[in-house]
Amino acid sequence: MTAEPTPQPPIPDDEGLPRRSFLQIAGYTAFGWIAGATGLTLLESPLNKLFEPVNQKVEELIFRPQKLIPEFPKSAIEPDQLIVNSFRGNPVIDLANFRLEVTGEVEKPLSLSLDAVRQLPYKSMVIRHVCVEGWAAIVEWGGVRLSDILQMAQPKSGARYVYFDSADGYFSSWDLASATHPQTLLAYEKNGAPIPLENGAPLRLASPLKLGYKQSKWVTRILVTNDFLRAPQNQQLMRGYWEDFGYEWYAGL
């Protein structure tokens, strides 16, 4: 990773919202029924660590890599429902010199300017963004399919995971199949206009496949790997900022 984040306790967002129980959206994930049956908040309980490997396998079996998720008409867009969550505040980004780096287990590493990204085939979609805090918003995202960028970089045969570095130090990782799904975008438009900085400009992940904390904002680097990364000081797995606090890694909808 470009900069390894120092683990910190979970922090509230800048709207002052408390973190809501996972039970509010438990029905969206493969093991939501466990939360309902036990009355536990999976993301904060030891049960999550116990079931996470099983959950991942179940969701991988359920997932169909090329199956499209039904989208919404533009009339369904909820422009005021997308809440801005803060990690470390909005980063300062030099757009004129911005580069999207694609490295790791690829045949052709990339360093793309914003203009080069925008010249790739355009895709827009109206989908529901679901936050682990219990709220959701229907949003139109526009940008480039992540699969087009990864195809340019040509992941090697053993590649399994894709990490995303953000300009604010946030990081997360996805399975390669979800990253190359045709509805996984690196978006630069929101509701037909350029994405505001607070929503992740110039580039952010957008997909109907994953919960909101997997959809990194301010993406600056894509790292393709064969295995999960490990912290050099203690060899603990590094799967993502919130995931390393116990949030579900797969986080499929």
Answer yes or no: is pLDDT of 155 > 60.
yes
Dihedral angle over CA of 60, 177, 166, 214, nearest 10: -30
One-letter amino acid at 42 equals L
CATH fold of 66-245, please? Answer: Sulfite Oxidase; Chain A, domain 2 (3.90.420)
pLDDT in tens, 211-226: 999 999 999 999 999 9
Domain ranges of the chain: 66-245
pLDDT in tens, 160-170: 999 999 999 99
For 78-213, list the strands marked E by DSSP: 100-104, 110-112, 122-130, 136-145, 161-166, 171-175, 185-190, 193-194, 204-206
Answer yes or no: is pLDDT of 89 > 70.
yes
Give the span between the Cα atoms of 104 and 57, in whole angstroms. Answer: 25
Closest by Cα among 38, 5, 9 to 21: 38
More confident of the two residues 239 and 9:
239
